[in-house]
Amino acid sequence: MQQKLNIVPFVSVQNMMKLVLATGVERFLTDLAGYIEEDFRRWEMFNKAPRVASHSADGVIELMPTSDGETYGFKYVNGHPKNTRSGRQTVTAFGVLADVGNGYPILLTEMTILTALRTAAMSAVAAKYLAPKGARTMAMIGNGAQSEFQAIAFKAILGVDRLRLYDIDSSATRRCVNNVAGMGFDVTACASSQEAVEGAEIVTTVTADKQYAKILTDNMVGPGIHINAIGGDCPGKTELHRDILLRSDIFVEYKPQTRIEGEIQQIDPDHPVIELWQVIAGKAPGRTDERQITLFDSVGFAIEDFSALRYVRDQLRETGLYEELDLLADPDEPRDLFGMILRAAKPAAVMQQTGA
Amino acid sequence: MQQKLNIVPFVSVQNMMKLVLATGVERFLTDLAGYIEEDFRRWEMFNKAPRVASHSADGVIELMPTSDGETYGFKYVNGHPKNTRSGRQTVTAFGVLADVGNGYPILLTEMTILTALRTAAMSAVAAKYLAPKGARTMAMIGNGAQSEFQAIAFKAILGVDRLRLYDIDSSATRRCVNNVAGMGFDVTACASSQEAVEGAEIVTTVTADKQYAKILTDNMVGPGIHINAIGGDCPGKTELHRDILLRSDIFVEYKPQTRIEGEIQQIDPDHPVIELWQVIAGKAPGRTDERQITLFDSVGFAIEDFSALRYVRDQLRETGLYEELDLLADPDEPRDLFGMILRAAKPAAVMQQTGA
């Protein structure tokens, strides 16, 4: 990838969209899910740090680093709920991969779109191990920017082809319905979350309000359901009634982070939960009986972004969908950084500019 | 700066060199020093986190975030001593500024060159408050990539115009001598560090070996000297004999970090040290008498990078020395990220690619 030491491949938003379209959304999500499963299987190899958050009145800016010992990756991501008022995204992100051996970055990419894709792929991977076998119907409560990605991931990876949609903002539901039209779904727009969950084997909650919400109440959750809880992802932001947690077998990405950010912030810190990687690695059971309620309490973890960065990096050579960024100083003589600057100018100019 | 919401201004290595040359190295360092002093005066406003390090056998990759409540900044920086063997830099870096209010990045820039400049500017700022008045002679032990920047910063900001250079690698000294030729210095290449410190009012140690070194021994340090210790900057990497620390008044950037990374890792954790910002803000004395030995135990702190990022950002509009990076997804409708991808393709193509 790097002929020149100063160059870092950069994937712009335009190139990311081209990559998704050239690959096909379903295949992109399926391949990405494969990378996530691969990394979750080798979970113990990763250097796992909690994300580094800088909180302010209007939102949060986070850095999410991790490393498998050979490659280092981090994501910059913000969360600012009020941004939509100014025509901005609530969440934007970009990410970097680097070579642990020499510390040089090897990829810079937009991750706003990529995070939406990896979040959906992650949900589908969890459901693959936790949802009732042969599930075809998913209720989706919250039909915002993440909803179509969730729908397509569940179709591509689990064969879910019946959607029951509800959002307090019916225009969001209409948008989602229009966007997935012609993709092979049987879609029902519902008038309430109660109606949405009727007959659903999988319930995805993906709402945005920052509060202790009760998107799902206990009576709405029947036996055998898999709950894919995406929206509750920071302190003070949850979606499920506490009683549901107490009836469910709870699966999380990374306990130390989910205790703070996930649905389980509502319950006793000692309440048993299973880290999903253990199920994928065959160290813990997933769904064991058909009446069991399984809950994937998803908050998003750095290793998922690492998988997404790896996947994008592996597509570059073949697709060529990147630009070359002149990001790293590469002096002719490594210890002569200043000389590189001098030689970038006409000698005469330097003298004058350095005041000699 | 940002007409378009998807665009982040990017300063490449080429543009950074052009900016340095167009500004003039001395003026760049002087202006940058002004930004550092300004931020050190308002030190208490900053959100100060220790840097987030990922260590490996060959080196370290660090993220250094900070925020003043309005603007957030972070630097990615690696340290890999063996890199020179493969023609790479020991240290490379890039940095980002973002708007705390909406979390959107507002600048991405190379920081390998910029870090070299801010390190030199920081040293000169410290010396301005700590070195003996009217000091004109500086010994510099270690003549690597940082040395010319140090020399020029001390000349521009303190009027130091006599250099006494020593490096175990005489070719490094020769390179430094050649690079500063014609810039108004009286330069003496010395055969030993003992010879280098003779008659010097300021002693800068800027060596690279990762070990507990003794670049300066107690007998080499006379009364009234200011020591600018740059090279000792991580656990297990120091340059000064312990006895020198016990005779000196010690000034540091940020105690919690310097205790781990600086020269003071050699002495009692309770040994008194002064944070430099207190001197600059007038809350603590700097040099109080002419026989006093002052030591700036410098390791580099996130706020200095923040100052450098602010300075570069403030030059962009006037100089135009940046590129526009398509880094942030900006859908026509903020909640319709997926629709943005759909509309990036011909409808027909989408159907097929999404498997419908």
Residues A129-173 pLDDT 10s: 999 999 999 999 999 989 999 999 999 999 999 999 999 999 999
> Alpha carbon B49 to chain centroid distance?
17
Interchain pair B351, A110: CB under 8 A: no
Looking at this protein, which amino acid is placed at residue A310?
Answer: R
Report the DSSP pairing between strands A274-275 and A249-252: parallel
Complex ipTM: 0.90
Across the interface, whether the CB atoms of B65 and A52 are under 8 A apart is answered: yes
What is the arithmetic mean of pLDDT over A197-202?
97
Angle at A111 between CA A109 and CA A115, to 5 degrees: 145
What single-letter DSSP state applies at residue B337?
H
The 10s digit of each residue's pLDDT in A237-261 is 888 999 999 999 999 999 999 999 8
Query: How big is the CA angle at A20 (ends A15 and A23), to the nearest 5 degrees?
Result: 115
Nearest to B341 among A6, A20, A87 (CB): A20
Pinpoint the alpha helices (H) of chain B.
13-23, 25-41, 112-130, 147-158, 170-180, 193-197, 242-247, 255-261, 276-280, 302-319, 337-343, 347-353
Tokens, residue B160:
């130091």
Q: How far apart are CA B236 and CA A317, in angstroms?
A: 41
Q: pLDDT per residue over A42-101, tens digit each?
A: 999 999 877 899 999 999 999 999 999 999 999 999 999 899 888 898 889 999 999 999
pLDDT band for position A346 (cuts 50, 70, 90): low
Question: A233 catalytic, yes or no?
Answer: yes
SS3 B294: strand
Q: How far apart are CA A69 and CA B289, in angstroms?
A: 51
How many CA atoms, within 13 angstroms, populate the side-chain half-sphere of residue B260? 8
From the list B233, B268, B270, B332, the catalytic residue is B233
User: Which of B84, B179, B333 is facing A338, going by the closest CB pair?
Assistant: B179
Say yes or no for a CB contact (<8 Å) between A327 and B20: no
B-chain residues within 8 Å CB-CB of A97?
Answer: none
Query: Of the listed A39, A167, A233, A297, which one is catalytic?
Result: A233
Element (H, E) at A242: helix A242-247
> How close A283 comes to chain B (CA, Å)?
28
Q: B333: closest CA among A228, A139, A169?
A: A169
Tell me the per-residue pLDDT of A30-46, one tens digit each, with 9 for 90 and over.
999 999 999 999 999 99
* A100 contacts B341? CB cut-off 8 A: no
State the pTM of this model.
0.92
Q: Give the residue on A whose Cα is nearest the Cα of B92.
A: A328
Nearest by CB: A54 against B72, B92, B156: B72
Whether the pLDDT of residue A351 is over 50: the answer is no
Nearest by CB to residue A179, choosing from B69, B179, B338, is B338
d(CA B194, CA A65): 44
Q: Which amino acid is at A44?
A: E
pLDDT at B95: 98
Q: Which residues contact B284 (CB under 8 A, 6 or more apart)?
A: B274, B275, B278
Would you call A88 and B350 a contact, using CB atoms and an 8 Å cutoff?
no
Phi then psi for residue A77, to 5 deg, are -145, 140
Chosen from B47, B51, B54 to mutate, greatest number of chain A CBs within 10 A: B54
What is the residue-level pLDDT of chain B in tens, covering all 356 positions? 446 889 999 999 999 999 999 999 999 999 999 999 999 999 999 998 778 999 999 999 999 999 999 999 999 999 998 998 888 988 899 999 999 999 999 999 999 999 999 999 999 999 999 999 999 999 999 999 899 999 999 999 999 999 999 999 999 999 999 999 999 999 999 999 999 999 999 999 998 766 777 889 889 999 999 999 998 777 888 889 999 999 999 999 999 999 998 999 999 999 999 999 999 999 999 999 999 999 999 999 999 999 999 999 999 999 999 999 999 998 888 788 999 999 988 654 444 444 43
Give the tokens for residue A239: 């979606």
Q: Tell me if B25 and A65 make a contact (CB, 8 A cut-off).
A: no
Q: State the pairing for strand pair B186-189/B162-166.
A: parallel
Please report the DSSP string for B120-165 in residue order.
HHHHHHHHHHHSPTT--EEEEE--STTHHHHHHHHHHHH---EEEE
Tell me the residue type at B20: V
